[in-house]
Amino acid sequence: MGIIMGSSSDWDTMKHAADILDEFGVAHDIRVVSAHRMPLDMVDYGAQAHDRGLRAIIAGAGGAAHLPGMMAALTAVPVYGVPVPSRYLRGEDSLLSIVQMPKGVPVATFAIGEAGAANAALHVVAGLATTDPSLQRKLADYRARQTDAARGMVVPPPP
Ligand code: RP5
C-alpha cells in the first residue's frame, strides 16, 4: 500500500490511515508527494506504482487538492482520496476538489479529516480481506469491539 500526502502538514490527518494499516498489519510506505511543488516526482510515483506492487494508494491533500485526481490519472492502481482540513475553508475546498472527478478517472473519496483517513484505510483493509481470511477475522473483531463500546455507552457521558 502507498500513503501519500501533499505536505508534511497533512500528517496529523493522514497518520490515522497509517495507524489503521499498522493495526491490521498491512505493509505500507508513506511519502510526501506534492502535486504542485514536485510534479515530476508525482509522475514518477504514479508511473512506478503498479510495478512496485502497490494495490491501493491513499492520497491526502488540502486546499486545491489535486494530488488524488492526478495520481488516479497516472495509474490504474485504485486511489482513495482523503480531504485534509484546510486553514480557511475547513477542508470543504479539499473535499470538492477531490470528489468531483470527471467521468472515467475515479477517486474513491472519503470524509474530511481523520475519520476520512481512517475509513480510507479500513476500506483498503476490507478489500484485502475479501481474499484473506485472517484479515477478515481481524476486521470482524474490530467491528465487534466497536459494537461493544457503543453498547457500553452511557448518557450523559462521564467527564
Ligand atoms: C497542499 O497544500 C497540502 O496537501 C496541504 O494540505 C496544503 C498546505 O501545505 P503547506 O503549505 O502546509 O505545506 O498541497
Each residue's pLDDT tens digit, 64-101: 999 999 999 999 999 999 999 999 999 999 999 999 99
For residue 149, the model assigns a pLDDT of 97
Q: Is CATH 3.30.110.30 correct for 2-151? A: no
- In this predicted structure, what is the pLDDT of residue 125? 98
Q: Is 37 annotated as a binding residue?
A: yes
19 is in an annotated binding site: no
User: What's residue 95's pLDDT?
Assistant: 98
Instruction: Give, for ligand 1, the residue of 4, 5, 8, 10 to mutate: max count of ligand atoms closer than 8 Å to Cβ.
Output: 10
- Index of the ligand 1 atom closest to the CA of residue 60: 4
> What pLDDT is stored for residue 59 in this prediction?
98
DSSP assignment of 87-109 = TTTTTHHHHHHHH-PPTTS--EE
Would you say 10 is a known binding-site residue? Answer: yes
pTM of the full structure = 0.96
Residue-range domain boundaries for the chain: 2-151
pLDDT digits (tens, 9 = 90+) for 45-70: 999 999 999 999 999 999 999 999 99
